Structure 1
Amino acid sequence: MNSALLDVVQSGLHTVDLGRQLRVGMPQSPNHPQFWHTLPRRHGDMVRADGGSAANDMISTGTHVGTHIDALAHVSQDGKLHGGANAGDSCLGGKYVEHGVHTIEPMLKRGLLLDIPAYKGLPDLEGGYEITVEDLQGCMASQDVEVKAGDVVLIRSGWGKKFAEGSAYVGGPSGVPGISEAGATFLAGLGVHALGADTIAFEMLPPGGGHAQLPAHRILLVESGIYIIEALDLEGLAEQGLHEFLFVLVPLNIFGATGSPVRPLAVVPA
């Protein structure tokens, strides 16, 4: 047993929750089934002889709703998944056996926050703003952080503040800020394990363009085997100035699924 690790834990840890609370009616991509939660049994519906009662729940949801991770099975290009796997043949009995979310190992990685608005001296980025390679490099230099192979890099645009506004967060007419195609290529070249953002689709969505084209998804999921985490809450990290931390994420172990809701954590010593 690693006594040094236990010593750190016992001395106290500070945790920042990066996940969105799952609520009926929360904003989401229109391409995915909505989250729904109900109580088929409420207290008082059935009462035992001793006066005890129990309530229980039922949920239905798309796997790409709320804060979630994209498995490599989520996107194909020209009929191929990551590594050249045939997208049709990979779906066996309605399950993506080869690249489903069950193949994502629990993440305990070095996490980095790239706070792009803070670097640019802005409160938030505007809808449709494309985060360039120059933005990424400049932000890394200003924060004095170096992205290393195996890291999980989280990109803050400030757009996450709009989550409580509903449709404004989806950003149809306004577009949504996000990484450029060149930016995705740049970060993939650094060997990152996963990338995340505080927006609905990770990459830039042009005003009125919706999800018509998602080149960063192709570069990361198909060409590079890099996972994407979307709809993160990064405001707490930004407010506390935490740019480097232990990143913890465990997807639901759903066999053959293309993604999973997640509740990631950023952890630092207390």
Structure 2
Amino acid sequence: MKKIILTKLTMLVLLVSPSIAQQKESVGKSPWGPDDEIGTLNMMSDASKLSVLSQIVSGEVFDLSVDYFVGMPSFSALGDPGYQYWLTHTPHGTVVDNPNGLGKAMNEKVSYTGDAISMYTHMGTHIDALNHFGLNGKIWNGFTPDQYLGDKGWQKTGAETIPPIIARGVLIDIASYKGYENIKDNYRINSDDLKGAIKQQGIELKNGDVVLIRTGQAQFYEDATTYFHHFPGINMDAVKWLIEEQGVMLLGADNLSFETFPPESEDNWVPVHTYLLAEKGVMFIEQMNLEELSKAEIYEFAFIAASLKLKGASGSPMRPLAIPINSN
């Protein structure tokens, strides 16, 4: 069944005839200089981080990440590995194998458990680094694989360059605004949807915000079949409004791949990804859990997150947190 589902997803991506063509797509040159590797995360400053932290009004912390487990959803249709977990040491096995050479009595007294994992870096709650997608042989800021991609990963814009993120966070709850039943079938969230939800929630966006889009898909996260099936996502109109008109620094959503499929472009199978990462230098977080934040109707918060410093990697697991702040 899983293989059939993935095959269908691949067919949707490759065979469905889209309607809109992107024109003049090219990688962006950073306004922060030729050596910039973090794009719009340069919008953070000590002052901006201190400002949002000073507005915290509660000790309540919302964890916006998902669990990792064998069988968890993964965009494996293109051949990337799924999540694997195995035990390397168990209390009983240590007694039998005596790997530390300390003998039965010691190993019966001291119970030892160890384990290991193997996974694709774009699984679970994770951030896409700026080298994840490029255009015409280049990534953000004009870096090329010929010069900067070695056998051990990218020497530019790798996940290790992503700084800890502290900023004002905003939840735009599209699933509550429109009703999940009305958006579940590959719905493309547009700028009017965002504006309507923001108005209903009584908030406004500010330059340098972290904006999180709730589609409601996270409620199915532990059922990979349902989570994969016809998930809604943001469209080009919406991301252009967020980035070019609202000055958003970072984006996130609770679905599989931020945008949805089939693509709305006839000559780009991930137009939202390339627009954000390659053209605008905007990273984003995928597969978040925004359900508790939505239930509590917390729409403004201090967003605090850090990713693993995976040298050269195109993405990294992340555990974002939201702490309520004063509404301004």
TM-score, normalisation: structure 2: 0.74
SS of 2:145's equivalent in the other structure is coil
- Asked if residue 193 in structure 1 is aligned to residue 249 in structure 2, the reply is yes
Verify the 8 A CA contact 1:125 1:158 in the aligned structure 2.
no
Matching of residue 110 in structure 1 with residue 158 in structure 2: no
Q: Distance in 2 between matches of 1:235 and 1:99?
A: 31
SS where residue 73 of structure 1 aligns? coil
User: How far apart are the structure 1 equivalents of 2:227 and 2:134?
Assistant: 26
Q: Indicate if the aligned counterparts of 1:252 and 1:261 stay in contact, CA closer than 8 A.
A: yes
After superposition, give the CA deviation of every residue in 1:181-205 in whole Å (9 maximum; x if it has no partner).
Answer: 1111111112222111110000122
Residues 226-265 of structure 1 aligned to structure 2 (within 5 Å): 226-265=282-321
Structure 1 pair 250/149, CA: closer, same or farther in 2 (3 Å)?
same
1:39 positional shift = 0.5
Matching of residue 41 in structure 1 with residue 89 in structure 2? yes
The Cα shift of 1:248 comes to 1.1
| Deviation readout 1:175-233 (Å, 9 max, x if unpaired) | 221111111111111222211111000012239x9xx8111101111111111101111
Matched, 1:13 2:59: yes
Question: 1 CA distance for matches of 2:53 and 2:170?
Answer: 23
Distance 1:121 1:7 in 2: 34
Residue 121 of structure 1 deviates from its aligned partner by 4.7
Q: Residue in 1 aligned with 2:73?
A: 27
1:160-179 → structure 2 map (5 Å cutoff): 160-171=218-229, 175-179=230-234
Query: After the TM superposition, which residues 66-77 of structure 1 pair with which residues of structure 2 at under 5 Å, given as runs?
Result: 66-77=124-135
What is the correspondence of 1:24-173 to structure 2 with a 5 Å cutoff? 24-30=70-76, 31=78, 32-47=80-95, 48=103, 49-50=105-106, 51-122=109-180, 125-171=183-229
Instruction: Give the partner amino acid of 1:177.
Output: P
Given that 1:39 and 1:56 are in contact with CA atoms closer than 8 Å, whether structure 2 keeps it comes out as yes
Q: Deviations over 1:53-81 (max 9, x none)?
A: 31101111111011111000110111110
Q: Deviations over 1:12-43 (max 9, x none)?
A: 51011111100011111113321111101111
CA separation in 1, counterparts of 2:227 and 2:179? 22
Closer, same or farther: CA 191–5 of 1 in aligned 2, 3 Å:
closer
* Separation of aligned partners in 1, 2:198 and 2:135: 31
List per-residue Cα deviations over 1:117-148 (Å, max 9, x = no partner). 22225566222101011111121222222222
- Work out the CA distance in 1 between the residues paired with 2:90 and 2:193: 52
Distance 2:55 2:173 in 1: 27
**2: CA distance, partners of 1:8 / 1:242:** 14
Q: 1:7 to 1:232 in 2, by over 3 A?
A: closer
Larger deviation, residues 83-92 vs 20-29: 83-92
Shift of 1:7: 8.9
2:99 corresponds to which residue?
Answer: none
Matches of 1:79 and 1:54 in 2, distance apart?
49
The aligned amino acid for 2:136 is D
Higher strand content, 1 or 2: 1
In structure 1, the gaps of 5 or more residues are none
% identity of equivalent residues: 36
Displacement of 1:87 after TM fit? 3.4
Structure 1 contact 63–260 (Cα < 8 Å) conserved = yes
Other structure's SS at 1:72 match: coil
Equivalent residue pairs, number: 262
Change over 3 Å in CA distance of 1:14–1:193 after alignment to 2: same
Measure, in 2, the Cα distance between the counterparts of 1:233 and 1:12: 20
Structure 1 or 2, whichever has the larger Rg, is 2
Runs of 4+ in 1 over 4 A off after TM superposition: 3-9, 121-124
